[in-house]
Structure 1
């Protein structure tokens, strides 16, 4: 959540940044009007309080005590009414602020959508084939690794069952990713896949993305869409010690998304599923540490792809493509020969103090004052998409899949 005081004091500058992030101008106009109204009503309140303070002191020496006492009593009632007015405006401001995204970092390029994202670099060279490479779903069905028909039968569309060596490869990837991340200094944590609405609010999924979440009927529980949600909120409502920061964690989880806005996209295969698996990186840092930890997390995910021999590229997301809670994001896109293009496999984001403010995660700084931490998250990696990438990049002309050397010990 944005700092309302900062937003009020720097409204024009922040509004310009939020417009670049596609925040509706009518919402910004409503915010502006509320701030002006708040300023006016606060001034009225201060005037009433000043009267009360001044004449309360003079009551004992006043010539007409009864009249002044009556005026003070009436003024006290006005103060009560005025306080309620100010509180109502503040409540309205806070409610709107819950749906306002984070301000883009100054380094983020201004742009409309994914077409304006900026390629930072390419890592490794895509493989060349002397045959036409197949897409993963063709390979998976032929090898009896992927069962889409039974996935739909027992659930619905956008569900798939992994079988045989496909299921083994999926498991190997999870174990390898966790081991890789732990060697890079990220501590393993295992969390619930069901969380309450307060936790969902803390990382920004609620109220904005309520329609994308699976909710348990008649209970305050939601299936997580990423383990970033419970892992970040592990420290909600806490004041951390400065010497314990940064805290760096890795976590495996299943993830659940309705994919409400993706009708017609990636309808074949396992690129976009309602249930998928991910190994996540989450860091909690002091503000001055967050940029260096961001690079550390990005390098960890990129090096993981390189260790699997998968060509990929780094993309800095523009303002129009930036996520709700993120101040800046770099996507990693892996090369898929079957599609003949790069596809997203990881997003590494610095949310700065946006989530910390919502989840109330603070630390005691060197001056002994409580200050909001910075939170960061990144996929390392989306397991299903990594499975897809290995299938397509390691296929041969007979439709067999060769297992990368680093994964063989996990079989």
Structure 2
């Protein structure tokens, strides 16, 4: 959410953000509703002032004047009471529009329509060279007996997954490695829930706009979040932190759920795009300074790259264009990891800086060194998401005999094993 005063004073900048981020919002309608609400509040304030002045006249009025003054006070009270629903409705209507106003992207962000317009910044690592015909993720899993897609589909429907044996241990190893990696860099580990109230998704900026992607538990008025960012962002909702408490840095491990509405027919094979998964999310709440925010953006990105490098996976860094960065973000990079069977990079990490856009929705404030209340800046980035990361991990490290080499960084989490699986070729 942007500051309303900023919107009033910078309508052209906001209109441009709406345009380049492809947001369905009429800023003229919002500004008119704002003017109407200001006029309504002025009318209410004028009536309240008159009622208060009228009440002071009653004790000093003559017997002849008093009945009219009393009646006027009653009339004003009834009029004000009648205006209450109109005022609340106008305030709510304006807030709903404000929730849709996108953040202003940094000048360095490329303008584009969708992910096709993202800009590759660099590539890291060496692509594997196989002296045999490599298998894809599903073939590796099935030949090793590490998955059962048919049976789990009968239990949970399509886009479910079930890992068995060493693959299940590998998934847990990857998650624990990511948690340890981030903890060693000062991030507080959290094991958090995916069950959230609707307002937490509003606070994080996923609502309004992303409702179709979220599973809803109607009987309990709860929803299932698609990332630990959602609950972590609301942990300090409405609180006033001290300057000394900042920055807050978390590594949140949680289940994650996404309906993937509208993605039918895309990436349905194996582990690429499943409805339920596990994720380690980096989250930072820092002081209201772009310089500080960009410093943390670089740190989050370096953490994600460090994890991929430790897993010995080739990847590339992309800068997201305006049409692919989300409404609340001022800067966003994706990391895409190489998938040999498809001869392409696939997105495994997203690094986002949101300025104070999220904090204004959530009420995340702190007192700066001068004692003034400020809205904090927030950032988030994937630490690791499984099972998607297992796709490049299995494919890049497969060996001629069908086994999978374990990167050195993961071996302590797998009892020292350097290889998983049995020869099957």
> Is the contact made by 2:57 and 2:69 (CA closer than 8 Å) also made in structure 1?
no
Question: Aligned residue for 2:30?
Answer: 31
Q: What runs of 5+ residues in structure 1 fail to find an aligned partner?
A: none
Q: Give the deviation of 1:220 after TM superposition.
A: 2.1
Q: Give the deviation of 1:240 after TM superposition.
A: 1.1
Question: Aligned residue for 1:145?
Answer: 146
* Matches for 1:10-409 after TM superposition, within 5 Å: 10-25=10-25, 27-41=26-40, 69=69, 73=73, 85-288=86-289, 289-409=292-412
> Is the contact made by 1:197 and 1:222 (CA closer than 8 Å) also made in structure 2?
yes
Question: Aligned residue for 1:6?
Answer: 6
Query: Residues 366-387 of structure 1, C-alpha deviation per residue, up to 9 Å, x if partnerless?
Result: 2212211111111111121221
Q: Give the deviation of 1:333 after TM superposition.
A: 0.5
CA distance in 2, matches of 1:317, 1:156: 33
> Is the contact made by 1:45 and 1:83 (CA closer than 8 Å) also made in structure 2?
no
Change (3 A) 1:205 1:396: same
Q: Give the deviation of 1:319 after TM superposition.
A: 0.8
> Is the contact made by 1:150 and 1:160 (CA closer than 8 Å) also made in structure 2?
no
Q: Which stretch of structure 1 is more off in the superposition, 395-404 or 312-321?
A: 395-404
CA distance in 2, matches of 1:354, 1:35: 19
CA distance in 2, matches of 1:347, 1:296: 13
Q: Give the deviation of 1:390 after TM superposition.
A: 1.1
CA distance in 1, matches of 2:148, 2:313: 25
Q: What runs of 5+ residues in structure 2 fail to find an aligned partner?
A: 415-425
Query: Residues 121-146 of structure 1, C-alpha deviation per residue, up to 9 Å, x if partnerless?
Result: 21112122233432211211111112
Query: Residues 293-345 of structure 1, C-alpha deviation per residue, up to 9 Å, x if partnerless?
Result: 11101100011101111111111111111124322211111111111011000
Q: Secondary structure of the equivalent of 1:146?
A: coil
Query: Residues 358-405 of structure 1, C-alpha deviation per residue, up to 9 Å, x if partnerless?
Result: 221111112212211111111111121221111111112333211111
CA distance in 2, matches of 1:193, 1:312: 29
Change (3 A) 1:137 1:77: same
CA distance in 2, matches of 1:6, 1:68: 46
> Is the contact made by 1:228 and 1:280 (CA closer than 8 Å) also made in structure 2?
yes
CA distance in 2, matches of 1:389, 1:238: 41
CA distance in 1, matches of 2:53, 2:93: 32
Q: Which stretch of structure 1 is more off in the superposition, 100-109 or 391-400?
A: 100-109
Query: Residues 211-262 of structure 1, C-alpha deviation per residue, up to 9 Å, x if partnerless?
Result: 2212223102222211111122221121111112111110211111111121
Change (3 A) 1:168 1:51: closer
CA distance in 2, matches of 1:193, 1:112: 31
Question: Aligned residue for 2:422?
Answer: none
Q: Give the deviation of 1:43 after TM superposition.
A: 5.7
> Is the contact made by 1:8 and 1:35 (CA closer than 8 Å) also made in structure 2?
no
Q: Secondary structure of the equivalent of 2:387?
A: helix
RMSD: 2.6
Q: Give the deviation of 1:106 after TM superposition.
A: 3.1
> Is the contact made by 2:288 and 2:374 (CA closer than 8 Å) also made in structure 1?
no
Question: Aligned residue for 2:418?
Answer: none
CA distance in 2, matches of 1:171, 1:47: 64
CA distance in 1, matches of 2:385, 2:327: 20
